[in-house]
Structure 1
């Protein structure tokens, strides 16, 4: 038995280390995959480790407390000071609750899509940008009963918008692709802007695909509503710090912007190719979460429901 336990612990540690390496290297693509794999790993840790009470889930070490957030999530509901007190069927209850969280992640996209008919009406012109699976499901669900036109911003230099437009067109949605520089000129014809996002910040702002800020400014100028489709797991307790752009953003190779073959020019310039834009909350009209629609000013209330106050500093 001890040998089996050691082997089980070793396997679990290897899984944790592999997961951490994948996060650092960007192997796991998409916020949904990151969230789902995180919860799956949590279930494995809870079920395979030995613990008799809530305090046993902390796993304190000299380097810090990697399980602190998990611990607070599980014990925040009751104001209990002594977490060493044994609770009957606690492990089974915790596993059940975490499994329910996995199910919520899996159905979040469908729950957002079912709200589409409340926000998209016939003969509207919708603008979107890049490629978002959540927005794709949202538009396709509305297209079952409504006829509308979609304008997709291609989002150079990666041009994910072109791939997105092809997918919408195959579903019978009238789709037009425009380049990024045409956004302001086209915006006067648009009824509504619907985009996805990577993260919803604590103040109601967005960490969204590069180019989103320009689209949001154009929408504001023409008084066009900007609607953001996002699952609740994209809600973050963190704020954007202007002096901490490296932690907020991610930079790709500038090869898509300027080819390496142009060596003489490259040796004289420094090119930044950021992945994300920050969109301030005053440019966002509404969020459509899987739990319903809400205004940016109400995000603080959602934070208090989904995060313990001690976990606002991650």
Structure 2
């Protein structure tokens, strides 16, 4: 095995938590996995693939190609191969939750197609997975064996993944199409920073409604200015406000609309910094907080107090505290987090590509999208 092969094997061992004698030990050819996964991780870290939507689409494409080239005798071996690749992605991209979400979604598709093909009476409870009854009843599917040889399993899985890719491509449009149901004429809408989904949502509403948008600038990067410029081009009455003015103007606001980076299992958010401030101000004045969230951002993980370092990313504070201010710099510890945690009790409504849901309903979507055995990769 070459030096590059040894190095990458160690990388997979570290991510998967297992010792591999060779790539063949998991029936995964080296050339099938090495170049695509390592290149994908590199592209995400260097921002060649940027944004949750692009990461989700490219992750599904990557796993689809892996399955197409994989050699396996039963569903259990295929699940092991996808899990091995998924552990590598999750370990190397801990801040990009959508990559792990897509791995879990593909694993659920494999399990679903296997159970549908075998029609094993012991897995009959799987038919209730998508109902409330299936959530509260004991999980008999844990005893399901995935070792039976199912003809054409690869073809049915790939077909199901293709349908899921179409769903991904249309999810943003599905959310934007609900705009006129939630935005009415002469309302004042407040948003924070820049979000492509919020922008599309407001532009769609502006085709039939006249309203005013307040955009908090989201200092120090000032993404709100770019958002305001895009809305102004669409003939939407827009005003940029300082982050410090959020509480002052909240009493005049009718709705708060925000995007999010991740929705956690408890209904909380991992959103752009400042979102918690906006949500607290909105709660004080009883202003509804509406979150636009495609289902691929739903993550089955919870936030714990001791996980704050893994939860957040610190950016350069140069925008708020210039390095040229040497007399202050050497006496100051400056932190510039990128994300905020917004607890579920501050969120009024989630608008997803499948409809509207309260934060307490997130657990139901998780049970639909992912299998319980795949919550922890």
Q: TM-score of the superposition, structure 2-length normalised?
A: 0.77
User: Which of 33, 38, 62 is equivalent to 1:17?
Assistant: 38
Q: Secondary structure at the match of 1:51?
A: coil
Range 162-171 or range 9-18, more displaced:
9-18
Number of residue-to-residue matches in the alignment: 305
In the other structure, the counterpart of 1:74 is 110
Q: Does 1:252 align with 2:311?
A: no
Stretches of structure 1 lacking an aligned partner (at least 5 in a row): 1-7
Mapping of residues 172-191 of structure 1, within 5 Å: 172-191=235-254
Q: Secondary structure at the match of 1:121?
A: coil
Instruction: Say if 1:59 and 1:67, in contact at 8 Å, map to a contact too.
Output: no
Q: Does 1:155 align with 2:221?
A: no
Q: Secondary structure at the match of 1:244?
A: helix
User: Which of 50, 68, 74 is equivalent to 1:47?
Assistant: 68
Mapping of residues 134-173 of structure 1, within 5 Å: 134-173=197-236
How many angstroms does 1:297 deviate by? 0.8
How many angstroms does 1:131 deviate by? 0.7
Instruction: Say if 2:108 and 2:369, in contact at 8 Å, map to a contact too.
Output: no
In the other structure, the counterpart of 1:284 is 347
In the other structure, the counterpart of 2:334 is 271
Instruction: Say if 1:54 and 1:71, in contact at 8 Å, map to a contact too.
Output: no
Mapping of residues 2-151 of structure 1, within 5 Å: 9-10=30-31, 12-24=33-45, 27-59=48-80, 65-66=84-85, 69=104, 70-76=106-112, 78=115, 79=123, 81-151=144-214
Using the alignment, how far apart are the partners of 2:264 and 2:86 within structure 1?
23
Using the alignment, how far apart are the partners of 1:254 and 1:170 within structure 2?
31
Stretches of structure 2 lacking an aligned partner (at least 5 in a row): 1-28, 88-103, 116-122, 124-140
Query: Which string of whole-angstrom CA distances, capped at 9 and with x for unpartnered residues, describes residues 135-155 of structure 1?
Result: 111111111011111110110
Range 74-83 or range 200-209, more displaced:
74-83
* More helix per residue: 2
How many angstroms does 1:59 deviate by? 4.0
Q: Secondary structure at the match of 1:193?
A: strand
Range 162-171 or range 86-95, more displaced:
86-95
Using the alignment, how far apart are the partners of 1:38 and 1:25 within structure 2?
16
User: Which of 194, 214, 237 is equivalent to 2:257?
Assistant: 194
